[in-house]
């Protein structure tokens, strides 16, 4: 039975071949129709018959046996086709690549076609010239800067500047010299020594050296992170003294008064059968002192900018428009301590600082419509110093004195009566301000060097006894009381019989205190 089934397979294949033969013939006919159409319309397809190789920025001259009356270049950006008469042509390589050049020779009635595949290759002589020029420039720069060592590597249309500079100042100078030699006198690297500089003009010898882009890979050894310590100290003193008196008297129909000082304290009051009098004396002495000390610290990488701000902002409403077209907007003004600085490490430990510290405080005495004013102390400067040195970048000593006197004529000049008929005051304000900066080269701390105790970590919460009985707002250093869970623990300790007066020491086993925090 199995053999009979296998014998039927060849018969089925033969039957399928007979049925499919008309379709195969139809496909062959359809494939032959485009070829016949093309052969009927196209007489000849001319392809590249000869290959020619030209070096970039070099040329080859072809002397033809017949006149050339027409020529076509497929890609004019690769080569340039120049004709000298009708039988001499010059092919000049412009850039690497391949393209076809087709020429029609003889006469137009019976023209002959010649198609060439022209390949423009790189000129080894130009590369040798570039390497020679850059080796001379490299030697000159290394001689000018003996503490630095550079290497110029031309690759394709790029030049890599690598090596080691003594400091950032020499790195900028080296980059500037190399950039100018490349014909780029007005480049701007934005202060980033790791950026790229693109030459916008050709090399001095434009006939042999192409345009190139400078890639700066100079390395500057040493510490690159700068810690800036800023100290802003201000001391203000003020003093004022006032003296004067107001009086009012009336005797029958006669009334006299003196009011020069305004508010004061009643000194004498008398009442008679025919009248009375009041005397008000104003004698005031005032002294005030204000001290400000701010010490912000900030770390940043050499050549970069950093900003430090500690303070707040308050809203300042602004009304714009007139009449019924008014609209209110709100802007915010900041106050507090702010530092902006950009350090540059020049020579090992010599640092150039561009620093702008400021310190502002609210002054409610200068408020307008409930909006407070601000007292600002700020400066912006550029200085150079060694690591660890301190520079006083700004200072102020200011003294102000004012006096005022008001008195009645004649009576105010009489000794003894001048106290009652004169008002006088004198005030003096003294202010001293000093801003100090000190840079240091730093590196990160190792894990075992990092401080374990940070500000506020030793501040604990007082227990009930210390808070309610003694009025303490901070707990004891050896006690870690937690009011969030203390009622629960107290209840459990009561049930266990451990509740005593010194409960914090007795309940230490209920707390887990470590570097990762407390227990539940």
For 309-318, the pLDDT digits (tens) are 888 888 888 7
Q: Identify whether the C-beta of residue 101 lies closer than 8 Å to the C-beta of residue 94.
A: no
437 and 450 inside one domain: no
Question: What is the C-alpha separation between 27 and 184, in angstroms, rounded?
Answer: 67
Question: What is the C-alpha separation between 292 and 252, in angstroms, rounded?
Answer: 60
Residue 338's domain comprises 226-233+289-441
458 and 473 inside one domain: yes
432 and 449 inside one domain: no
329-372 residue pLDDT tens:
888 888 888 889 999 888 778 888 899 998 888 888 778 877 88
Q: State residue 411's pLDDT score.
A: 65
389 and 478 inside one domain: no
218-242 residue pLDDT tens:
888 776 789 999 998 888 899 988 8
317 and 336 inside one domain: yes
Q: Which residues in 295-390 belong to E strands, given as ranges?
A: 297-301, 306-320, 327-347, 350-368, 371-378, 381-386
398 and 481 inside one domain: no
Q: State residue 382's pLDDT score.
A: 92
Q: State residue 206's pLDDT score.
A: 36
426 and 463 inside one domain: no
312 and 455 inside one domain: no
2-41 residue pLDDT tens:
444 445 555 555 555 555 555 555 455 555 677 777 777 7
CATH code at position 66: 2.60.40.1080
242-292 residue pLDDT tens:
877 776 666 666 565 566 665 544 444 555 556 565 666 677 788 888 887
363 and 385 inside one domain: yes
Question: What is the C-alpha separation between 320 and 323, in angstroms, rounded?
Answer: 10
Per-chain mean pLDDT for the chain: 76
Tokens, residue 192? 């980033």
Q: State residue 2's pLDDT score.
A: 45
Q: How many CA atoms lie within 13 A of 240 on its CB side?
A: 11
Q: State residue 194's pLDDT score.
A: 36
428 and 364 inside one domain: yes
Residue 317 neighbours by CB under 8 Å, 6+ apart = 328, 329, 330, 371
Number of domains within the chain: 3
Q: Is the model's pLDDT at 198 over the cut of 60? A: no
300 and 430 inside one domain: yes
Per-residue pLDDT band at 119 (split at 50, 70, 90): very high
Residue at 95 is within a domain: yes
296 and 433 inside one domain: yes
Residue at 45 is within a domain: no
Residue at 511 is within a domain: yes
For 406, phi then psi, to 5°, come to -135, 130
User: Of 422, 441, 460, which marks where a domain is finished?
Assistant: 441
């Amino acid at each position: 039975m199995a053999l009979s089934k296998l014998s039927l397979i060849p018969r089925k294949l033969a039957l399928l071949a007979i049925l499919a033969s008309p379709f195969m013939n139809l496909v062959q006919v359809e494939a032959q129709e485009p070829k016949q159409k093309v052969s009927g319309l196209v007489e000849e397809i001319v392809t590249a018959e000869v290959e020619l190789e030209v070096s970039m920025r070099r040329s080859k001259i072809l002397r033809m046996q017949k006149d050339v009356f027409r020529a076509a270049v497929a890609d004019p950006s690769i080569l340039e086709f120049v004709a000298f008469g009708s039988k001499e042509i010059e092919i000049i390589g412009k850039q690497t690549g391949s393209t076809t050049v087709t020429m029609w020779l003889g006469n137009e009635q019976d023209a002959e076609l010649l198609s060439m595949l022209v390949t423009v290759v790189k000129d080894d002589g130009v590369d040798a010239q570039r390497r020679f020029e850059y080796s001379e420039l490299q030697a000159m720069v290394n001689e000018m800067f003996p503490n630095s060592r550079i290497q110029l590597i031309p690759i394709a249309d790029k030049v890599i500047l690598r090596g080691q500079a003594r400091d950032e100042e020499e790195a900028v100078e080296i980059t500037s010299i190399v950039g100018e030699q490349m014909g780029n006198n007005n480049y701007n690297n934005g202060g980033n020594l790791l950026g790229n500089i693109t030459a916008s003009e050709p090399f001095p010898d434009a006939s042999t050296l192409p345009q190139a882009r400078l890639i700066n890979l100079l390395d500057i050894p040493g510490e690159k992170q700068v810690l800036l310590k800023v100290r802003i100290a201000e001391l203000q003193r003020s003093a004022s003294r006032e003296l004067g008196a107001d009086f009012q008297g009336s005797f029958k129909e006669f009334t006299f008064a003196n009011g020069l000082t305004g508010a004061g304290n009643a000194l004498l009051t008398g009442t008679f059968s025919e009248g009375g009098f009041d005397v008000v004396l104003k004698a005031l002495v005032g002294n005030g002192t204000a001290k400000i000390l701010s010490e912000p610290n900030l770390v940043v990488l050499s050549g970069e900018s950093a900003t430090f701000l500690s303070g707040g902002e308050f809203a300042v409403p602004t009304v714009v428009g007139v009449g019924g077209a008014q609209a209110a907007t709100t802007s915010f003004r900041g106050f507090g301590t702010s530092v902006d600085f950009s350090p540059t490490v020049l020579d090992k430990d010599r640092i150039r600082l561009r620093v702008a510290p400021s310190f502002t405080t609210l002054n409610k005495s200068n408020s307008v419509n409930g909006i407070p004013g601000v007292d600002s102390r700020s400066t912006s400067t550029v200085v150079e110093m060694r690591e660890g040195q301190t520079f006083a970048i700004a200072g102020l000593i200011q003294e102000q004195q004012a006096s005022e006197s008001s008195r009645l004529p004649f009576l105010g000049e009489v000794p003894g009566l001048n106290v009652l008929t004169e008002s006088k005051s004198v005030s003096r304000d003294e202010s001293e301000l000093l801003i100090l900066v000190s840079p240091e080269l730093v590196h990160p701390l190792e894990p075992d060097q990092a401080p374990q105790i940070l500000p506020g970590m030793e501040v604990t919460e007082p227990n009930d006894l210390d808070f309610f009985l003694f009025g303490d707002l901070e707990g004891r250093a050896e006690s870690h009381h937690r009011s969030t869970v203390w009622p629960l623990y107290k209840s459990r300790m009561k049930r266990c019989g451990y509740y005593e007066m010194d409960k914090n020491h007795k309940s230490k086993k209920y707390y887990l205190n470590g570097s990762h925090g407390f227990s539940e």
